[in-house]
Amino acid sequence: MLSKKIKIATIGQGYVGLPLSLLLCKNNYNIHAYDIDENLIKKLGNGLYGNLNENDLDVIELYKSTKNNKNITFSSNLDEADIYIVCVPTPIKENHKPDIDFVFSAIYEILNFLKDDDLIIIESTISINSIKKIQKIIKAKKKKINYSLAYCPERVLPGNALNEIIRNDRIIGGINKKSALYAKDLYKIFVKGQIYLTTIEIAEFTKLVENSFRDVNIAFANEVSILCEKYNVSYRKVIDLANKHPRVNILNPSIGVGGHCIPIDPWFLIENYKKKISLIRNARLVNKDKTKIVTKKIISKYNSSNVCKKNILILGLSYKANIADLRESPAIEIVRDLQRHLPANFYINDPHLTNFKIQNTKFCSLSKGLKLSKFVVILVGHDAYLDIHRKITKSHVIIDESGIFPE
Ligand SMILES: NC(=O)c1ccc[n+]([C@@H]2O[C@H](COP(=O)([O-])OP(=O)(O)OC[C@H]3O[C@@H](n4cnc5c(N)ncnc54)[C@H](O)[C@@H]3O)[C@@H](O)[C@H]2O)c1
C-alpha cells in the first residue's frame, strides 16, 4: 500500500486528469492538481467544475464532494511532489504528425523538482519511442537522479469516465521493474480491473493498436454501407443478418468518426510508415471520406426534393449518440459544408448541447424545428429521436444518416 504521506502532482486537469486527481484525493492522498490554464484553475478553485458537462455527472458529483477537501490543491504552478502524473493533450498537426510537445514541456517543468526515488507516469497518448525521448531529456538535465518512469495509457470512454477509470483493466509499461511496480502500487489505490505489467514499447504499441482497431472496424462498416447504397440494398438488414454468423460482428456505420482518440491515434501508430502501411491509413481515409459522401448525398436529396426547402432541420451534432461531446464531430463538418452549398436557413436540435453556436444557424426544440422545416436530416441517433417517426407528418422529407429511423 502506497504511503499516505506521498505527495502526488497531476499535470493537466482535463477529461483524463481531473477525475484522476479527484479519485486519488477521495482515497486520502495529497494531490497537487496543476494546469497551465489559469481560468480553468480559477474555476476549479471556486467550486465550478471546469469543462465538464452532462456526460460527466459522476465526475461532477465527485468534484462537489471533494472540493473542500484539504488534500487537494488546484494550482497554475507545478510544485514538488513524489509522483508526477502527466495528463496533457497530444493532438496531431495539420500533416497528421503527432504533437507530443505538451508532454515534453510538462517533463521540463517536472525537471525543476525531480529528486531521487520520484516516479513520473505518462497517461497521455504518445507515439512509439516517446518514452525513450523523455529518458534522453531527463538524462541530459539530471544525469545522476535515480528516478522511476512508467507509461500507463488511459482508455476511458467519454460519458462514462469515472466508471471506466475504476473498472477497466490497465496496462503499465515501466522503464524497469521497479518503475512498473511503483506505478502498479499507485493504480491499485482505485483500479478494480486487472493491472498488467509490461515493457514501455509494448505499452506504447498496445494503446495505439486499440484505437486503430476501432477505426479499422468502423471503416469496414462504413464501406459496407457505401457499397450497399450503391446497389440500393439496405445495409442495416445486411449487417444485421451477417452478424447472425457466430464469428461476425460488424459495427454500425456512421457519418464519420469523431471524438478525441479514434480519429487521431491511428496517425500516431503509422507516423513513420504512412506510405508503407495501407490498411490503417486507408481506414482513416474511408472514415474521413464517409463524411463527405454523406454531405453529397444530402445535397443531392435536397436538390431533387419537392418539399418546401426554405428551412433545413439538422438533428444531432455531437460526435456520437447520447453524449454532449463535440470534439472532432463529423456532424459539425457536414453542417458547415451544407451551409456552403444550400440556400436554406439551418435549424439545429441536439438535446445534449447547450451554449453551442454555429454561425448562421439557430438552435431550436425538436417540435419547433419540425414545425419550421420540412426537410429533416438526422445525423446522430440520440435516444431522444427514437420516436421521431411518430412526430413527423407526410409533408416531411427525412434523410436518416443515423440508422435510427425505422426502415
Ligand atoms: N479524453 C479522453 O477520452 C481520452 C481517453 C484516453 C486517452 N486520452 C489522452 O489523454 C491525454 C489528455 O487528454 P484530455 O482529454 O484529458 O485532454 P484535455 O484537453 O481535456 O486536458 C488537458 C489539460 O492539460 C492542460 N495542459 C496542457 N499543457 C500543460 C502543461 N504543460 N502543464 C499543465 N497542464 C497542461 C490543458 O490546459 C488542459 O486543461 C491526451 O493524450 C489524450 O489523447 C484522452
Provide the 10 A C-beta neighbour count for residue 405. 18
User: Does 275 have pLDDT greater than 90?
Assistant: no
User: Does 154 have pLDDT greater than 80?
Assistant: yes
260 C-beta closer than 6 A to ligand 1: yes
| Structure confidence at residue 369 as a pLDDT band (50, 70, 90) | very high
Q: For residue 357, what pLDDT is reported?
A: 84
Mutational test site, ligand 1, from 10, 13, 15, 124, max ligand atoms within 8 Å of CB = 15
Phi, psi for residue 303 in degrees, rounded to 5: -65, -30
Q: For residue 50, what pLDDT is reported?
A: 77
Q: For residue 320, what pLDDT is reported?
A: 94
Q: Could you tell me where the DSSP H helices lie in 47-99?
A: 57-66
Q: Which of 25, 87, 152, 261 is catalytic?
A: 261
User: Does 127 have pLDDT greater than 80?
Assistant: yes
Q: For residue 392, what pLDDT is reported?
A: 95
Superfamily name with CATH number, domain 213-400: NAD(P)-binding Rossmann-like Domain (3.40.50.720)
Superfamily name with CATH number, domain 7-193: NAD(P)-binding Rossmann-like Domain (3.40.50.720)
105 C-beta closer than 6 A to ligand 1: yes
Tens digits of per-residue pLDDT, 32-88?
A: 999 999 999 999 999 888 778 778 889 999 999 987 889 999 999 999 999 999 999
d(CA 46, CA 39): 10
Tens digits of per-residue pLDDT, 384-397?
A: 999 999 999 999 99
Which atom of ligand 1 is least distant from the CA of 37? Answer: 37
The residue with greater pLDDT, 51 or 21, is: 21
Residue pair 78/108 in contact by the 8 Å Cβ criterion = no
The torsion defined by the Cα of 42, 44, 101 and 263, in degrees rounded to 10, comes to: -130
**In the predicted model, what is the mean pLDDT of residues 237-252?**
98
358 C-beta closer than 6 A to ligand 1: no
Taking all residues of the chain, what is their mean pLDDT, rounded to a whole number?
95
44 C-beta closer than 6 A to ligand 1: no
**In the predicted model, what is the mean pLDDT of residues 309-335?**
95
- Please enumerate in sequence order all residues whose Cβ is within 8 A of that of 98, keeping only pairs 6 or more positions apart, or say none: 90, 92, 126, 127, 267, 268, 271
Q: In what order do the strands lie in the sheet with 397-400?
A: 361-363, 345-349, 311-315, 375-378, 397-400
Share of the chain above pLDDT 70, in %: 100
Q: Which of 152, 184, 207, 374 is catalytic?
A: 207
User: Does 213 have pLDDT greater than 90?
Assistant: yes
Which residues of the chain are in CATH 3.40.50.720 domains? 7-193, 213-400
**In the predicted model, what is the mean pLDDT of residues 354-383?**
94
Q: For residue 238, what pLDDT is reported?
A: 98
317 C-beta closer than 6 A to ligand 1: no
Q: For residue 54, what pLDDT is reported?
A: 79
Share of the chain above pLDDT 90, in %: 89
Q: Which of 371, 362, 375 is nearest to 311 (CA)?
A: 375
Q: For residue 140, what pLDDT is reported?
A: 95
Ligand 1 centre to CA of 373 (Å) is 39
Residue 308 annotated in active site: no
287: amino acid identity, one letter: N
